Structure 1
Amino acid sequence: MTQVPDQPTQKRQRGRPSRISREAIARAALEIGVDQATIPAIAAHLKVDHSSLYHHVAGRNDVISIAAELAINELDWRAPAATDWRSELIILTDAIWTLYERHPGLAESIHQASVTPSSGIRSFAESVEKLQQKGFSLDEAVLAVDILVDMVGECFLGWWSTTKPEADGRTRKERIIAIWEDEATKLPDKAEQINAMVDIMKVGARKWWERKRDLVLAGIAVTHAQKAGGSDKVQT
């Protein structure tokens, strides 16, 4: 079982062992949803008085931090040793997308630097090391992992924000599509290009992200082959 370090903010009283811990609080936050994980909500979820949580956490920011730590620690992102570098990066970014999808609010917390999980830093370093073992220089590997990790977060957040409801009951995505379709009607000479983007919005976030990812991977393959003196075959 993954352990979350127990760092209570106050000394515990002698007597009956506590029914709650930092790990229990972190799991409760993930079960509720990071975006909904307030101290009162977690206390209700655990069926304890909310004041008792402060024996284990300093506040909501501490809760989000340990929840992120736990979620990343338990994320299945590692590829088999024989996996080629391209598949390695696809498996990594697929896992990150799944992480954000599974835990609403986590992507926002990480990308706004509200939390900086040490497990995330270790995973980043390990991903870079795996590319180095497959022939990438340190600079190449850092750049490749950084670009894709940033992109998957930004793409997820961009599309996730469009699922929020508007005052009229429509989602933000539906409103944006309607605006673009209206512009296509007003600009018939540009309708083909505008409607192409409308089609993308209708297909959904994951498909569009995968196309962006594949374009970046193709670019990484070209530059890696050039840096290797053309000795590596370009993976497509």
Structure 2
Amino acid sequence: MGRPLSPLLSPEKICRAALELVDERGDFTLPRLARRLGVSPSSIYHHVQGRPEIINGMRSLISADVLAQDGFPPGEGAWREQVVRWARIYRAALAQHAKAIPIFVGEAVTDEATLEIYERLAALLTAQGFDPRAVIVAVSVIDSYMLGSAMDAASPAMAWVTQPQAHPALHKALHGGGLADNRPDAAFEAGIAALVANLEAIVASGLP
């Protein structure tokens, strides 16, 4: 029998299968990943070095999709608009794989696609006049907010189960605020606007 025209395994196939498992189960193990791919665990190590590389590979798949989207910064508009657009597009992509976010934050970013995403944000801030310390603080603040909001986007529409007598203020807000269908998006937009406004203050006054 001749050799197959394409290899049974590749780093991309392994990382895509791992991402599928995380979407389904919230995590992956190498034995379960091997079963999903129909190979032995040792076969996986011929293509990737281990779990950290797979995690960064999963992250890279999402980031490549982000970078391919029209409108992802840099582009037209003031820096504030571009920062909001950066967070909005990246959040939407991560929200589709919200169960992977806790796994991602446990590993330093090493893949080029994700580093490029953060490079673009850092470049926007640098061009606006942020000094190096301010850039790192700003990127970290935006990143923390965006990651948390991406997880919130995957939460139930009714994130709190309330009783009118026991939780009167929260119950009234939940059921009378008209946000049942888009609470996470409304909260994100309000928060990112406030965050960007604070970044402008950092540019004006500097960090302590």
Structure 2: runs of 5+ lacking an equivalent: none
Asked if structure 2 preserves the Cα contact closer than 8 Å seen for 1:22 and 1:56, the reply is yes
Counterpart of 2:11 (choices 4, 17, 22) is 22
Q: Percent identity?
A: 20
Q: Would you say 1:102 and 2:91 are equivalent positions?
A: no
* Paired position in structure 1 for 2:167: 184
Return the index of the structure with the highest Cα Rg: 1
Counterpart of 1:213 (choices 188, 192, 196) is 192
User: 2-side partners of 1:222 and 1:195: how far apart?
Assistant: 35
Taking only aligned residues, the RMSD between alpha carbons, in angstroms, comes to 3.3
The aligned length equals: 194
* Paired position in structure 1 for 2:144: 150
TM-score by length of 2: 0.72
User: 1-side partners of 2:97 and 2:118: how far apart?
Assistant: 20
Partner-residue secondary structure (3-state), 2:166: helix
Q: Would you say 1:195 and 2:172 are equivalent positions?
A: yes
Letter in 2 for 1:22: P
User: 2-side partners of 1:49 and 1:88: how far apart?
Assistant: 44
* 1:127-169 superposed Cα distances (whole Å, 9 cap, x missing partner): 1122222333333333322211111112333564x54xxxxxx
RCO comparison, higher one (Cα < 8 Å, 6+): 2
Runs of 4+ with >6 A deviation: none
User: 1-side partners of 2:95 and 2:44: how far apart?
Assistant: 27
User: 2-side partners of 1:83 and 1:142: how far apart?
Assistant: 23
User: 1-side partners of 2:132 and 2:62: how far apart?
Assistant: 27
* Paired position in structure 2 for 1:117: 110
Asked if structure 1 preserves the Cα contact closer than 8 Å seen for 2:74 and 2:120, the reply is no
Cα deviation for residue 31 of structure 1 reads 4.1
Letter in 1 for 2:172: N
Q: 1:205 to 1:50 in 2, by over 3 A?
A: farther
* Paired position in structure 1 for 2:54: 63
Structure 1: runs of 5+ lacking an equivalent: 1-14, 164-170, 186-190, 228-236
Asked if structure 2 preserves the Cα contact closer than 8 Å seen for 1:26 and 1:66, the reply is yes
User: 2-side partners of 1:195 and 1:172: how far apart?
Assistant: 13
Asked if structure 1 preserves the Cα contact closer than 8 Å seen for 2:56 and 2:104, the reply is no
